[in-house]
Amino acid sequence: MPNHHIDRINDDIRRVLAEKLRDVKDPRIQQGAMLTVTHTDTSADLRHCKVYVSVLGQADERQLMRGLKSVSGYLRHELGQSLDLRYTPELHFQLDDSIAHGAYINRLINDLDIQHDDDDDPQ
Amino acid, single-letter form, for residue 28 = R
- Going along the chain from its start, the domains and CATH numbers come out as 4-111 (3.30.300.20)
**pLDDT tens digits for 62-78?**
888 899 999 999 999 99
First CA to last CA across the chain, in angstroms?
Answer: 59
The DSSP 8-state label assigned to residue 88 in this structure reads P
What is the predicted pLDDT for the residue at 1?
A: 37
Region of 26 (left: φ > 0; alpha: ψ -120 to 50; beta: rest) is beta
**Residues 2-59 pLDDT 10s:** 578 899 999 999 999 999 988 888 888 876 668 889 999 999 999 999 999 988 776 6
Q: Which residues share a beta bridge with 52?
A: 39, 94
